[in-house]
Structure 1
Amino acid sequence: MEKILQVNDLHISFDIHAGEVQAVRGVTFDLYKGETLAIVGESGSGKSVTSKALMRLLPTPPSRIKQGEILFEGKDLTKLSEKDMQSIRGAKISMIFQDPMTSLNPTMTIGKQIMEAILKHQKLSKDEARKRAIELLQLVGIKNAELRMKQYPHQFSGGMRQRVVIAIALACNPKILIADEPTTALDVTIQAQILELMKDIQKKLGMSIIFITHDLGVVANMADRVAVMYAGKIVEIGTVDEIFYNPKHPYTWGLLASMPSLDHKDTELYSIPGSPPDLLNPPKGDAFAPRNPYALKIDYELEPPMFQVSDTHYAATWLLHEMAPKVEPPAIVRERMKRFADIVARKGGKPRG
């Protein structure tokens, strides 16, 4: 498959009064043409910081990219000027944010906001831009598009506003769409409609998607590959089948176990014990060790490397070392694996192994 984006050893820090927050610590991944890569993890794991860094949207200061590269079309985006980045944002890489209301200007009509992106990046007349805006509204499933063009954001429901935001993001046929928890502010019914819409548009346009979320149910439905982040690092990465059928990192086990199940009769929800580390002073060794019931002595001394499980599956845990004791996922994780097997099967995925 053709690589469209490469992120290599990315380190991002925030300089605050208390010191240096090491928000992203050596993130590496590739994005392929036409695929959906989901990045999952708890709040504070570095998902959104990583995604915003791809578009250079982090305020500088306090943020700074300490080292690493983001390669797109033969260019390292970390080294481009702001003017050069403006020609890439929206035109080649677009982003959908969590809350559609904060993404839209309440004083401008929907039509003007969509046309603004088109006129900025494409050599079209106002009439052509207006026609294109109407086509985009129709593409994202908004009826009476010509009438809706003249209306303001407050005249749209939450789901409709998110459709408008998607239309703006698609205005210039970007090669990469970054979706930062785009359905969090929506109810589950509208959420399902938006996710289905994104999958449909991806098939039509052939674009790549980076999907940021904490909802593994969404991941099972949307993703081709999954990167699991913890404390600013990717601790496991693989195809959606590998992550759900054969997870290897104890943190991934914890995320799977934490998902509520209607079939489960226990009244108490599982949660990962403890809390993420303070990245002002990242811990020595494996950052997840204090919360890991299967932690080994070496976890508190040395950071684990990425062990290869298959050609596409890697995990950073000492449990994969040849001298480590054999540990199986706990029963609750195996139960969740069976549950997600049904979701992945409905999507057309096939279990490995």
Structure 2
Amino acid sequence: MPAPVLQVKNLSVSFQTYAGVVKAIRGVDFDLKKGETLAIVGESGSGKSVTTKTLLGLNAQNATVSEESQILLGEENLAGYEESDWDQVRGAKIAMVFQDPMTSLDPTMTIGKQIAEPMEKHLGMSEKEAFAAALALMKDVGIPDAEKHINDYPHQWSGGMRQRAVIAIALAAEPDVLIADEPTTALDVTIQAQIINVIKAQQKKRDMSVIFITHDLGVVADVADRVAVMYAGKIVEKGTVNEIFYNPKHPYTWGLLSSMPTTSTALGSLHAIPGTPPDLLYPPKGDAFANRNAYALDIDHEKQPPFFKVSDTHEAATWLLDERAPKVEPPVEIQKRQAFWQENFVKEG
């Protein structure tokens, strides 16, 4: 198989605060293949955005990336980059679409100029060439009457149109990897679907790799090839989108899926995960989810679980998969999903 476009190995990120050192990311590993979409999901504060900002060197100045961390883009390890080194990566090799398009755009520059600027900087285009290419790219991402609006300012556009402009800026220098950090959060539902379709269409056209950050599992089902589930600064389960949705193994993933309403959800039966995530000033020595986990074993409070292999593409860090663990029945909602998995994937495959 070809080498991954991006490999993240043992990524650990901490923040020095007035209260002490916050261990925000604690040994994260994943890879990204050419042309695929990896979704990283989890509650707010699980470490999704810090992970992806680290891939672009965008964390605050009080952040420290451990010396053992590796962010391999091809053969380059970005983890040791200085600020001046990032100029050749941001936009040119890895680009990002942020949550709020209004705060992502410069209010003093025209939309066309903001799209053209990366082309001038990274592709060596003249101002005239970049302006023409920006106009074509505006049309490509579905901005109507692009010729009429290329000299508009961000405040003149709606949220959905501004997000299309942000996508165009991210694509301008033809990056290998696009990070979409909850790009639909600030938009209404109908516009969300349009923005997702724009990203998918551009990914297919450019054979680009995408990391999609979200807490909305409904979005994940529509965009992802593989899923990594994050909790308390660690990835706790990863697999193909079908494996995570229909055959999940980690109790945290069970909780996330059980809390997602479906057309078959009974009235008054919507599940919520009890409690709150741990304080990463003082990370627990065992499984970080143990205190919120109705299925926790004694060992969960004492020792962090390793990853247990479920299939060649699926693994989960839970002691419930240890051969010595007692057999437990997951929630009813998860049992229904696993029955669907058995009926439609195991029997067919």
TM bracket, shorter-chain basis = over 0.9
Q: Select 2:345's aligned residue among 321, 343, 351.
A: 351
1:234-270 per-residue CA deviation (whole Å, 9 max, x = no partner) reads: 0000000110111000000000011123442323531
Amino acid at match of 1:253: W
The 2-side partners of 1:352 and 1:99 are apart by 41
Q: Which residue of 1 aligns with 2:318?
A: 317
DSSP 3-state at the match of 1:146 = helix
C-alpha separation in 2, matches of 1:352 and 1:226: 19
CA distance in 2: counterparts of 1:134 and 1:351, whole angstroms: 45
CA contact under 8 A between 1:226 and 1:237: conserved in structure 2? yes
> Which residue is equivalent to 1:347?
none
Superimposed CA distance per residue, residues 165-199 of structure 1 (whole angstroms, 9 cap, x where no aligned partner): 00000001110000000000011111011111111
Aligned twin of 1:275: 276
- Measure, in 1, the Cα distance between the counterparts of 2:338 and 2:175: 35
Contact 1:256 1:336 in 2 (8 A): no
Gaps (5+ residues) in structure 2? none
Q: How far apart, in 2, do the equivalents of 1:160 and 1:338 lie?
A: 42
Closer, same or farther: CA 131–351 of 1 in aligned 2, 3 Å: farther
Partner of 1:344: none
Q: Which residue of 1 aligns with 2:154?
A: 153
Q: How many residue pairs get matched?
A: 343
CA distance in structure 2 between the partners assigned to 1:141 and 1:337 by the alignment = 39
Name the counterpart of 1:345. Answer: none
Give yes or no for contact 1:241–1:352 (8 Å, CA) kept in 2: no
State the match for 2:221 in structure 1. 220
Equivalent position of 1:329 in the other structure: 330
In the other structure, the counterpart of 2:301 is 300
Provide the rounded CA distance (Å) in 2 between the counterparts of 1:270 and 1:126.
Answer: 55
| Residues 1:64 and 2:64 are matched in the alignment | yes
- Aligned equivalent of 1:119: 120
Correspondence 1:170-249 to 2 at 5 A = 170-249=171-250
Q: TM-score, normalised by structure 2?
A: 0.95
| TM-score, with structure 1 as normaliser | 0.94
Whole-angstrom CA distance in 2 between matches of 1:18 and 1:243: 37
Q: Provide the C-alpha distance between the structure 2 equivalents of 1:336 and 1:220, rounded to a whole number of angstroms.
A: 14
- Tell me what 2:252 maps to: 251
CA distance in 2, matches of 1:105, 1:43: 27
Q: Identify if the C-alpha distance between structure 1 residues 126 and 190 changes in structure 2 by more than 3 Å, giving closer, same or farther.
A: same
Q: 1:264 to 1:338 in 2, by over 3 A?
A: farther
- Distance in 1, matches of 2:40 and 2:284, equals 23
* Offset, 1:119: 1.1
Give the superposition deviation at 1:330: 0.7
Residue ranges of structure 1 left out of the alignment (5+ in a row) = 342-349
Q: 2:88 matched to which residue of 1?
A: 87
Name the structure 2 match of 1:25: 26
Matched, 1:16 2:17: yes
Q: Which amino acid aligns with 2:17?
A: I
Percentage identity across paired residues of the two chains: 63
Between the aligned partners of 2:260 and 2:184, the Cα distance in structure 1 is 17
CA distance in 2, matches of 1:319, 1:332: 18
Q: Read off the aligned partner of 2:92 and give its amino acid letter.
A: A
Contact residue 245 and residue 352 of structure 1 kept, 8 A? no
Q: d(CA) in 1 for partners of 2:152 and 2:254?
A: 47
C-alpha distance in 2 between matches for 1:329 and 1:200: 37
Q: What SS does the corresponding residue of 2:124 show, helix, strand or coil? A: coil
- The letter for the 2-side match of 1:304 is P
Q: Indicate if the aligned counterparts of 1:56 and 1:85 stay in contact, CA closer than 8 A.
A: yes
Range that drifts further, 67-76 or 246-255:
67-76
